[in-house]
Amino acid sequence: MSFYPQWLPGTKPEGYDEHRARVRENLRLPGHWKAFVQTSRTSHAPAEQRLDAVKAPSVVVMGAADVDWKDPADEAAWIGRRLRADVVMVAEVGHYPQVQAPVITAGAVTRLIDEVTHA
């Protein structure tokens, strides 16, 4: 849990302390920590190999301060090119833009839906 706050830099969202406590409790359940560790040590290669097969319209919403990537903007641009997707970079936001910037994230998804339904 010591690393968790780094995923949400800047202003913490409403309910952050309660959410963090729930995550901590969840990871204490039998098998949950082991499962989480496995997800953090997997290869992205299988997903990367399938990117060009994605034909559905997409949008990439990336926090500009996402600590999972050396250069979040470069990562977002790369995945955006591969998916032929619009890219929305959210300033001062980390790994969970849907939590730290729900209005921006919802707006990006809504625009995608509008584009698809009115095409």
CATH of domain 4-117: 3.40.50.1820
Domains of the chain: which residue ranges? 4-117
Query: 12 pLDDT exceeds 90?
Result: no
Which tokens is 82 given? 């591969």
Contact 90, 104 (CB under 8 A): yes
Tens of pLDDT, residue by residue over 72-98, are 999 999 999 999 999 999 999 999 999
Would the pLDDT of 119 be above 80? no
pLDDT computed for residue 41 by the predictor: 87
What per-residue confidence (pLDDT) applies to 4? 84
3 state SS of 90: strand
**pLDDT tens digits along 18-73:** 999 999 999 999 999 999 898 888 888 998 999 999 999 999 999 999 999 999 99
* Alpha carbon 19 to its chain's center: 17
Confidence of residue 1 (pLDDT cuts 50, 70, 90): confident
Per-residue pLDDT, 60: 98
> Which of 13, 16, 114, 97 has its CA nearest to residue 61?
97
pLDDT classification of 11: cutoffs 50, 70, 90? confident
Cα(3)–Cα(23) distance, integer angstroms: 12
Residue whose tokens read 């790369």: 78
Rg (alpha carbons) of the chain, rounded to whole number: 16
Percentages (nearest 5) of helix, strand, coil residues in the chain:
55, 10, 35
